[in-house]
Every structure is written in C-alpha cells, then in structure tokens.
Chain A
Amino acid sequence: MTPEELRQSAEAERQKSHACKHILGVCCAAGCQSMGSDKIKDALDKQVKLKGLESEVNVKSVGCLGLCAAGPLVSLESDGKKAMYQAVKEADVAEVVEKLGKAPVKRLELSLDIPFFARQQKIILENSGVIDPERIEEYFAAGGYEALIKALTDLEPAEVIDAVSRSGLRGRGGAGFPTGLKWATVAKAAGSRKYVVCNADEGDPGAFMNRSVLESDPHRVIEGMIIAGYAVGASQGYVYVRAEYPLAIKRLKTAIKQAEGKGLLGDKILGTTFSFRLEIRLGAGAFVCGEETALLVSIEGSRGMPRPRPPFPAEAGLWGMPTLINNVETFSTVPPILRNGWEWYSAIGTEKSKGTKVFALAGQIKNTGLIEVPMGTKLRDIIFDIGGGVPDGKKFKAVQTGGPSGGCIPESKLDMSVDYESLREAGSIMGSGGMIVMNEDSSMVDVAKFFTEFCMSESCGKCVPCRTGTAQMYGLLEKIHAGEAVKADLELLKELCDLVRTTSLCGLGQTAPNPVMSTLHYFEKEYTSLLKDGPGKPAAAR
C-alpha cells in the first residue's frame, strides 16, 4: 500500500461512517465482555435488522470505554450528539434501538459530564472506545499510520529521535527514563542487527493499562514500534505479552496480520526501502520477566533471570545486539507526538513529567476502570473527583501505586501532584500506573506482608539478598502480623529492608522493601501496636 492508498482507504471509511445516522459502540474489552457485552452486541444487531434500520444504524464493537465499574457500556452517537449507556442488559436492547434519534433512555444513561469523563485528557486512549480494534480501516480513519507515513517519507531517523527527545516523553514502564535518549543510544550503538522490543508483560498485579491498550487499539502499539525501528535502525521487533491476556494476544495477532496485509509490516514498507517485521512472544507468568534483561533472555527461550547492567540492552540486548526496549504505553505515545508535533506534547504535564499518563483505578474506589490524565494532576482529584471516592461510607486510608515496587500513600499526601519525582519523594513510584485504593478496614501490615510474599515467590533466586532477604522479611512480617513479635524484630526488619534494597542485583530486589518501608513510614503505629512489647502494653508482658 502506498501512502496515497492508505489515505484513500481512511477517507472511504470516514465517508462510510458519516453515512450512518446513528452509531452504537458496544465495549468489547475484557471487562465488559465478561459481563456479557458480546450478547448485547448480537441482540442489537438483530434488533436493528428486525426494524430494517441497517442503513441508518451502525452497531460496532469498540474498545474499552473506561468506566468498567458500570459495564456493560454502550456508547451512542446520534446526529453528532454523544451519550453513554451503562449496565445494559439484553432486555434493554429493544428500547435502546426504539429511542434512537429521540431522547436517550433515561434509566440507562450515564452522564458524560461527570468528572470521570470530563476531567480526562485522552492521548494514548484517544481511540479506545471509539474504533473497532479489529478493523485497521477504522484506525486509518482516526489518523492512524499518518505518523508512520510522515516518519518514513519526510523525516530522517535522527529527526524522529529529535522529536521524541524534545517532546520530553519518559518511559511509561516505571522508571521514567527519557525515551529520546534511549532511542539515540540504540541508534548510535554498533551492531550488525538491532531489535525493538515492546514490554507488554504488565506484571504489576492490579494494573491493566497495557492490556486495555492492546485490546482497544493494538495498531497504535504496532505503529509506534515500526517508527522506533526506523529511528534506531532495526528491522525486527518483538512484543513480549503475558500469556494471562488471551484477548489482548488475539487482537494483537489480528492487527499484525492486517498490517502485514497492507504492507505496513514486512519488506519495503509504504513503498520505501525500510523493512520491519514483528513477532509476538508469550510470557509465562514470571513477574521478574518484566525487568528488561530478564525479558530479553526469556525471548531467547531461557529462564528469565536478570543480569547486571551495564551493558544496557541498548548496547547489548537480544542475542548480544543493540536492543530498544520500551513499554506499550511509551510506544503508543509516539504516533500522536509525530502527528501533532513535539511542541504540542511538551506543553502538557509538568516541567519534568510531560504528557499524560494512564492509570488503572482498582480496589475500594467507586469508579473502577481506566483513566488518562495530564501529569501533575492532584492525587486527590484522581481518587475523589474522577474516581468517585471510597464506596460504602468508608474512610480512605491509602493508595498503593507502583505495585510490588511501590508504596502506600496516605491521606496527608493526597494533595501532591502525580509525576515521577513527587511520587518518589513520597516513598512510592509511578510504576506502570496501577492505583489501588484501600479503605480504613485494610491493615497496612497485611498489605506489606502481601507484597513481600509476592516478591519472595517471584524472586528469581539469582542473588542472595533478594532470595533469602525477602524470605526473612516475610517471616518477620508474619510474626508481627500474628502479634508474636517484639521491638527487636521490627528493628531487624528495618535493617533487612536496607540491606535488600542496597545489595540486590536487579530492580525486583532493590524495590521489594518499598511496600514495607512506606507503610512503616506512614503507618508505623499499626506495626508497633502489634508488638508484644509495644506502646501501651503492660510492663509485665515485656
């Protein structure tokens, strides 16, 4: 396909969609699907046929609409007016179709003015819930692959890297490394072959941003990766996806086939001299494989054990060759940066954290689901405004960010801005974007124990501080939790945290103490009140 043909296809698709007076978008991402959205789509299709409205009404599958808590969701666009229906049942279908073009069904309507929708700014999720993820034409119509055309026909690889650098984009996989700098390093590195790898392992439990992007808008990831390949001089890419995401894998496979069919992957892309191939590699349920060096050896078919860095993958990665590894969200941000210009992107967010970030809201929070907000948004706004606060009249206690590598942030810190630096200062990390809200009933010692158990069983066992240290930490936490520990145990726990943090080989071990240290920092009383010789205990017990 030439750029011209791609644009024609996009235009044809736009025409087609304008021809329909009403568009009903049924969410077909994993959340709504598990609540039966497939059946609702079928029922809508049937009803439209029954009423002979096929030419006026377009019923389509769309990706995640965000507010999973209110699913199954159906979006509605009638004569340019938008509305959303929540908790739709098969029994509602006849009425939904009947009311098309009239006032929407009040009983089902979910206002689009609520802060959950109104306060978001969507860049990565711009197509989620809008296009059918299984149709490349809809991605074209939404401006998809325009950035690739621009990169391949207008820009030198160095210019692409320059745009990414100037945009201020930082890695969304957790550490926030400047993306442009990483690309430049790979581009400069010497090697007979180079690789581009997408980290879609998303091992942080409680996080599902990457899953949703892959299920709702897979072409965006592919486009970002092809551009990256062009920029750094690689002709082969791999997407490392966790096997626990069957729907995401299926959609990605479909998307890769479509892109190959259109000549957007393979030899001589868009009629240029650039070639790029993409393959999927499945993870197999090891958290440590999210760590980049472990991920690379896992692609090579071995046990996912990290190795010391340097050399960084940018210099010696897959099969010893220079390898660019970025997160799903990082790649997904590249096409809009090229399409709209780095100036546009760098104007969003804070001074050091540019752009938007997708967060997964889960736990004791009313509006569970996916959101995208500019960096620098206040944590309180995310949880209470957008998230709707804590349900059942309970009090907020803490929000956990960054998963097993992160920490718990208490009420007193909620007014801080969400960006890489502030979160780190507060003793947590941005991580991949999971936010788990806990109410007053959650025990922070229990949460610390939970994450320590996680790190203990996910430790790859290569180095002693992490392998043995996390097990010892877990033992102490169990003892404290059971009310059998004394002050000296708590001191030992603190010492161990320090040791594991400073002497472990990879990020897993280095950050494993974070959940313990942050809960100890903000909620030390919960620990001391469990000690046999803690404050308030009779002297006789000491």
Chain B
Amino acid sequence: MTQSKTAVKPPTEDKRWRIVEATIRRNGAQGQALIEVLHSVQEVFGYLDDPSLVYVAKALRLPLSKVYGVATFYHFFTLKPQGKHTCVVCMGTACYIKGAPELLKDAEKTYGVKPGQTTPDGELSVIQARCIGSCSMAPAVVFDGQVAGNLSVADFGKKVESMLKTPTAAVPA
C-alpha cells in the first residue's frame, strides 16, 4: 500500500524524534513494527508518554487501544518518566536467594522508594528486574546502565550514593 496521506508529524519539535521516524520508515510504517517503534521511543526519551503513544498509533495506522495494550503488556515499557538515575535490582531466582530482597529493603529505608517508584525530587528510580543474565554474580544490580555484582547491602548503599553524585544524565535502563 502506498502512503498517500501526508506523513504524520511527531508530537514535538524535538530533533530526537528523527531517530524514531527512521525506525518507522525502516519498517515501512507497518503495524507489525509496533514493538520495535516503542523500543525506539523509550530508548530516546526514557519512557512512553501519552502524546508519544498517540503519535505511534497514527504513524503505524493502528488503533490507540492496541498501542496502549502492547505498551502496558510488556514490563520493559514504562509510561512514567524515570528519575535522573536508575538502579535496576535483579529479583531473579539466583539474586533472590542471594539477598536481593535486602537490597530493595535498603533502598526503601534510605530513599523511601519501592520498586517501580521514583524519589519525589526525580533523582532516583528503583526498578525490579526479572533476571539480567548476570546470575553468576548474584545479587546483581544495574546502576545507570552499568552492571555490578556480588553486592552486599553496604556495597549497594555506597554504589547508589556514588551514582547519585555522578552528574551525567541517566542512561535509560
């Protein structure tokens, strides 16, 4: 099918939308590319907000309900903005029996955030993962995209602290 209608415009002028547009184009703006396109949006902007979902639906000519359904079905997609820094604690089996729950408790005690939450100042998001494949170093945590393993509660606390002091913007996990 040729695309006779005028191309759908991204929700903002942000230049980074070009990356998403390239993904859409590469896939011939077909509905089957939905997951690829959502990955692209999240990689660029860190999360999927409503205007993005509306845009993706239009660009791929899919009902918004389908886009929303897919975005909420998969755990990897998040509809909320993430904090400046992210800390992904693996709660897979190996990490679980090697003390990952203690790490999450520590994060909650120190920063008042449960998995899936962000501190009110927007500095830190704590995320729970299902296994990041670093089971040989359980418990494993990804601090701003960097994997660290064999962590005691004390190591974990120190790592989070030093991550929060690093000025660079968070790499979306």
Q: In the complex, how many angstroms separate the beta carbon of A210 from the nearest chain B beta carbon?
A: 9
**In this assembly, does A339 line the interface, its C-beta being within 8 Å of a C-beta of chain B?**
no
- A34 touching B135 by the CB < 8 A rule? no
User: Which of the four size classes fits the interface of chain B?
Assistant: 35 or more
Q: Which of B32-53 contact A (CB under 8 A)?
A: 32-36, 38-39
Q: Is B64 an interface residue (CB 8 A)?
A: no
Q: Which residue of B lies closest to A209 (CB)?
A: B133
Q: Roughly how many angstroms separate A370 CA and B135 CA in the complex, as a whole number?
A: 10
A304 cross-chain contacts in B, Cβ below 8 A:
73-74
Does B32 lie within 8 Å of A300, measured CB to CB?
A: yes
Taken together as a complex, chains A and B put the C-alpha atoms of A281 and B138 apart, in Å, by 28
| Interface status of B54 (Cβ within 8 A of chain A) | no
Q: Bound state CA distance, A205 and B133, in angstroms?
A: 8
* Interface positions of B from 92 to 138, Cβ below 8 Å from A: 92-98, 129-138
A309 CB to nearest chain B CB (Å):
21
Q: Which of A146-154, A357-365, A503-511 contacts its partner?
A: A357-365
Q: Which of A298, A362, A442, A447 is within 8 Å of B135, CB to CB?
A: A362
What B residues does A300 contact at CB under 8 A? 32
Q: Is A436 an interface residue (CB 8 A)?
A: yes
Interface residues of B in 66-92 (CB under 8 A from A): 66, 69-70, 73-77, 90-92
B131 touches A363 (CB 8 A): no
Query: Is A379 at the interface (CB under 8 A from chain B)?
Result: no
Question: For window 280-300 of chain A, which residues contact chain B by CB distance below 8 Å?
Answer: 281-287, 298-300
| Contact across chains for A282 and B39 when beta carbons are under 8 A apart | yes
Complex CA–CA separation, A438 to B97 (angstroms): 8
Q: Size range of the interface on A?
A: 35 or more
Known pairs A243-B76, A301-B34; A362 contacts B146 (CB<8 A):
no
A512 cross-chain contacts in B, Cβ below 8 A = none
- Is B148 among interface residues, defined by CB-CB distance under 8 A? yes
Give complex CA distance A185, B155 in Å.
53
A450 to B91, CA, bound (A): 10
Q: Which residue of B is nearest A211, CB measured?
A: B133
Instruction: Mark contacts of A220-247 with chain B using CB atoms, 8 A cut-off: 1 yes-contact digit, 0 otherwise.
Output: 0000000000000000000000011100
Chain B residues near A368 (CB, 8 Å)? Answer: 135-138
Residue A192 CB within 8 A of the other chain: no
- Is A413 part of the binding interface, using a Cβ–Cβ cutoff of 8 Å? no
Interface residue B147 (Cβ < 8 Å from any Cβ of A) = yes
Query: With the chains together, A436 CA to B138 CA distance in Å?
Result: 11
- Interchain CB contact under 8 A, A285 and B74: yes
- A471 proximal to B (CB < 8 A): no
Does A207 touch B at the CB level, under 8 Å? Answer: yes
Residues in A whose Cβ lies below 8 Å from that of B39? 243, 282, 284
Apart from A206-B92, A243-B39, A368-B138, what 6 extra A-B contacts exist at CB < 8 Å?
A: A31-B134, A245-B132, A245-B133, A286-B73, A362-B136, A450-B93
Q: Can you list 17 A-B contacts (CB < 8 A)?
A: A30-B133, A31-B149, A68-B136, A205-B130, A207-B135, A244-B129, A282-B35, A284-B35, A284-B38, A285-B130, A301-B34, A302-B34, A303-B69, A304-B73, A364-B97, A368-B137, A369-B136
